[in-house]
Structure 1
Amino acid sequence: MKPTLLNLIQNNQFAGLDYEDPYLHLHTFIELCGTVKIHQVPEEVIRMKLFPFSLLGKAKLWLNALPHQSLTRWSDIEIKLLARFFLLAKINQAKSEIVTFSQKQDELLSEAWERYKSLLRRCPSHGFDDLTQVNIFLGG
């Protein structure tokens, strides 16, 4: 593994603090891992091997406390990390921000749309279908 990649990953570590966004961490981590291609090694294996280096503090303690062999696929890591660090209060807050979205005064429609899409990306588990998302945006 290239030391440069390991440095990039360690410069973007997730500690599990309240203000940190685990979705953003996963997105950044996947992006960084995507820069590495090893002949006949699946991307999932690369992610699984590098993921522990992307954590510190209570997030690292959480990972180390999981039962051995409880994370056998990349999706296991994603599901368990989000279940632990993207709490119900954060989900409810994010959903509230989506539902109460409104275009700001002097904000271009394209800027409002990008800001709205950003809210949706911050909470992939919002549960709003495409039609509802469009209706919320148009109502705001």
Structure 2
Amino acid sequence: MADRTMEELLQAPTEGYREAIVIPKILAKNFEIKMNLLQLIQAKKFHGFKRDNPHTHISNFKRMTATLKYRDVPNDAIKFMLFPYSLVSAARIWYEKEPPNSVLTWDDLVNKFVNQFFPPSKTTHLKNEISRFTQR
């Protein structure tokens, strides 16, 4: 630390901007995601509102990405690259707060996402509502 100049010490930090998702290696040479695909994903955004259902979002997202087939590109890599574009508002903030390199598999991402936006307490509450329901 003593070796650094005052100018260097006053520089804004630029480290720490890594993504939470670790994208699997892609062997394809000229792979790119087209703008119309991004627009399709962004048309079905997840906000993280109480009324939003993360299970439905994941199901719709998987349905869209299952149609994508690229040679030498794992489908999980495509899902990982596109998923952040499907999030806005509270959901995007949640994603950006996830630690860098903390999501290694699609199942990791689904579990974290669902537990954040459909926590066990919500499941318990809904089960209790169902059990208290009496037919007239």
TM-score of the two chains, using structure 2 as the length reference: 0.68
CA-atom RMSD in angstroms? 2.2
Given candidates 83, 92, 95, the residue that maps to 1:60 is: 92
Larger proportion of helix? 1
Q: Aligned runs of 1:61-100 on 2, under 5 Å?
A: 61-96=93-128
Post-superposition offset of 1:96: 4.4
1:11 matches 2:43: yes
The one-letter amino acid paired with 1:48 is: F
Q: Aligned runs of 1:1-140 on 2, under 5 Å?
A: 1-96=33-128
Query: Max radius of gyration: which structure?
Result: 2
Distance 2:57 2:35 in 1: 20
Post-superposition offset of 1:3: 2.3
Bigger RCO of structures 1 and 2 (CA < 8 A, at least 6 apart): 2
Gaps of 5+ in 2: 1-32
TM-score of the two chains, using structure 1 as the length reference: 0.66
Distance 2:44 2:127 in 1: 26
Distance 2:37 2:113 in 1: 22
Post-superposition offset of 1:34: 0.9
Post-superposition offset of 1:6: 1.4
- What is the number of residues matched between the two proteins? 104
- Indicate the SS of the match to 1:18: coil
- Indicate the SS of the match to 2:40: helix
